[in-house]
Amino acid sequence: EVKLVESGGGLVQAGGSLRLSCAASGFIFDDYATIGWFRQAPGKEREGISCISSSGDSTYVADSVKGRFTISSDNAKNTVYLQINSPKPEDTAVYYCAVSPAQCPIAVHTTFFISSWGQGTQVTVSS
């Protein structure tokens, strides 16, 4: 059974930092082409913000978070990370990790290509 568990969310002040983790079980990263991060703010659609290829060779970060968010992976631990620096109140959302057989970044341009989702972790940025 494919299982993705996010952690690391919480309340953070604007300008601070936090790191989200996505621990995968029931499969290895090589079983999928891409591991990605999406977020969904209240009243808004779920949007893809970052992804990394299963090999770790290719990454993508959306323009809306470029320069502040960094994605990385540790394949030995079957874990993907999203480092969030200088968060802004508009980054407040539930953050989800997901896996896809599609290539990064196509895999996160829409939710259509996602095979499995984590349960999400709330990130709240205070001003």
The mean of the pLDDT values for the chain is 95
Residue 29 pLDDT: 78
- Contact (Cβ atoms closer than 8 angstroms) between residue 38 and residue 24: no
pLDDT digits (tens, 9 = 90+) for 100-118: 999 999 999 999 999 999 9
Rounded to whole angstroms, how far apart are CA atoms 49 and 61?
6
Residue 1 pLDDT: 86
Longest pairwise C-alpha distance within the chain = 40
Rounded to whole angstroms, how far apart are CA atoms 60 and 49?
8
Rounded to whole angstroms, how far apart are CA atoms 107 and 113?
6
Rounded to whole angstroms, how far apart are CA atoms 74 and 9?
19
pLDDT digits (tens, 9 = 90+) for 16-32: 999 999 999 988 877 88
Q: Which residues of the chain have pLDDT under 70?
A: none
